[in-house]
Amino acid sequence: MSIATTIDLISNGRAAGSTCTPDLAAPTWTFDARPGYGPGSSMSDLIPTSAPRQGVIPEEYRTASEAELHARIEAAKATLGDRVVVLGHFYQRDEVVRHADFLGDSFQLANAALTRPDAEAIVFCGVHFMAETADVLARPEQHVILPNLAAGCSMADMADIDSVEAAWEQLELLYGTEPDADGRVPVIPVTYMNSAADLKAFCGRHGGIVCTSSNAATVLEWAFERGQRVLFFPDQHLGRNTAKAMGVTTDRMPMWNPRKPLGGNDAATLQAAQVVLWHGFCSVHRRFTVEQIEQARAADPDVVVVVHPECPMEVVDAADVAGSTDLIRKVVAAAEEPTTFAIGTEINMVNRLAAEFPQHDISCLDPVVCPCSTMYRIHPGYLAWVLEALVRGEVLNEVRVPDDIAADARVALERMLAARPRPLAPSRPLAPARPLDAGREA
């Protein structure tokens, strides 16, 4: 049963359980004209006034049944053939994922887009920064389409180019710009994939790089070879958890609050820093707690707790495994014996794993159904709308990055693509497992 169906049943009193808001049961397009990220995990996050809005789509897509929308999507894809490629993120709802040509995390999908250079259109069923990344890496003739322009990312919006440039100016005044005796510059900027294209371009201009949750450790190693310290944005938790696993102590990872001089730090603290962490976070992964892990262990002492490194440090420390969405899937797939898993990541992915691996007992650490607000805004109605427009020769919801920004962002992204992922090690041994398989094509 899909999460969308589960939400509907809970809302109508036909299934047990709870959701984080009753608005999840409302039609997605109800929220398109309103400011905000929509119902779900990010609904309380403050959205910038400049965030893209989605216009109202035609009534025929809003009133069509699920079966009709699926039939229309399949027909449009069959007509378009190799002219279009549909990319689906792990956090997308099942009703959309079923139509994806590739299913993966942000790193995998960035690579997958490169495998279809002859496709005229890349339809990215993810969020805005992912579509921007695809456009930066795509050929100039290709069109990158985001089915719902309101599918943004609250974490990505927590770091903007003006704030990052202001922070950089303060750090340059403090650190200077001259390299040390080993040729390492004072600071290297590293932005998480979950950031706008202009921040990726900033990294490209300043000798920096982009990372994903898959390759964050490899990227930090790359940065430490070239710089004395790192400015890591926008997700504090991924930066902290990755650096800690590499041996960096927390006292050398101060937080930078962009609303305060020197980020709220004194000069001595910043001089001693190895990683300066931006004050940003993922509202999906912030929901997971140590208490939830303790409850899972009380219910089954043999449970394997697997969490995403965007979770707070104390949650990652209490878990058995921390890693990217792709690593989470690989850990489940590699378990040869029936295993109880409690997983701390987005509920659509956890639900899909439970269906794909029925030999295991798989549940989400958070018992409250609360999907990613922005991923959830991509509904089959939007996908049918943009695909049928392509059949007519019309490109809707195209995401374009200005050429000057794209050029610098491409530098940082190409460095990212060259930094092959390596998983974070589990904190305690798991049951015997077969070798982890490679990413898959849906």
Helix (H), strand (E), coil (C) string for the chain = CCHHHHHHHHHCCCCCCCECCHHHHCCHHHHCCCCCCCCCCCCCCCCCCCCCCCCCCCHHHHHCCHHHHHHHHHHHHHHHHHHEEEEEECCCCHHHHCCCCEEECHHHHHHHHHCCCCCCEEEEECCHHHHHHHHHHCCCCCEEECCCCCCCCHHHHCCCHHHHHHHHHHHHHHHCCCCCCCCCECCEEEEECCCCHHHHHHHHHCCCEEECCCCHHHHHHHHHHHECCEEEECCHHHHHHHHHHCCCCHHHCCEECCCCHHHHCCHHHHHCCCEEEECCCCCCHHHCCHHHHHHHHHHCCCCEEEECCCCCHHHHHHCCEECCHHHHHHHHHHECCCCEEEEECCHHHHHHHHHHCCCCEEEECCCCECCCCCHHHCCHHHHHHHHHHHHCCCCCCECCCCHHHHHHHHHHHHHHHHCCCCCCCCCCCCCCECCCCCCCCC
Angle between helices 403-418 and 106-114 (to 10 degrees): 110
What is residue 181's predicted lDDT score, i.e. its pLDDT? 94
**pLDDT bucket at 305, cuts 50 / 70 / 90:** very high
Taking the C-alpha atoms of residue 16 and residue 406, their distance in angstroms, rounded to an integer, is 48
Least confident of 46-60, 339-353, 426-440: 426-440
pLDDT digits (tens, 9 = 90+) for 71-94: 999 999 999 999 999 999 999 999
Q: pLDDT, tens digit, for every residue of 326-376?
A: 899 999 999 999 999 999 999 999 999 999 999 999 999 999 999 999 999
Is the model's pLDDT at 421 over the cut of 80?
Answer: no
Window from 276-280, 306-310, 322-326 with minimum mean pLDDT: 322-326
Mean pLDDT of all residues in 25-35:
91
Give the other-Cβ count within 10 Å of 6's Cβ: 17
The whole-angstrom distance between residue 157's C-alpha and the CA centroid of its chain comes to 13
Half-sphere exposure (CA, 13 Å, Cβ side) for 38?
30
Q: Which residue has the tokens 């695909």?
A: 387
The two tokens of residue 201 are 């371009």
- What's the pTM value of the predicted model, to 2 decimals? 0.91
**pLDDT greater than 80 at residue 435:** no
More confident residue, 428 or 16: 16
How high is the pLDDT of residue 431? 33
Q: What is the pLDDT of residues 172-185, one digit of tens each?
A: 999 999 999 999 99
Confidence of residue 10 (pLDDT cuts 50, 70, 90): very high
Mean pLDDT, rounded, for 139-148: 96
Those residues whose C-beta lies under 8 Å from the C-beta of residue 295, and which sit 6 or more positions away, are none
Residues in the chain: 442
Give 229-242 pLDDT, tens digit per residue: 999 999 999 999 99
**32-36, 186-190, 336-340: the lowest-pLDDT one:** 32-36
Residues of the chain above pLDDT 90, percent: 87
pLDDT of residue 110: 75
Note the pLDDT of residue 422.
63
Burial of 60: CB neighbours in 10 Å, binned 0-12, 13-18, 19+: middle
pLDDT of residue 427: 41
Burial class (CB in 10 A: 0-12, 13-18, 19+), 361: middle
Q: How confident is the model at residue 107 (pLDDT cuts 50, 70, 90)?
A: confident
- What are the CA-CA distances from residue 3 to residues 102, 240, 348, 351 (Å)? 20, 31, 6, 7
Mean pLDDT computed over every residue of the chain: 93
How far is the C-alpha of 356 from the C-alpha of 337, rounded, in Å?
A: 15
How far is it, in rounded angstroms, from Cα 181 to Cα 34?
Answer: 54
The residues, any chain, with a CB within 8 Å of residue 5's CB and separated by 6 or more, are none
- What is the pLDDT at residue 56? 93
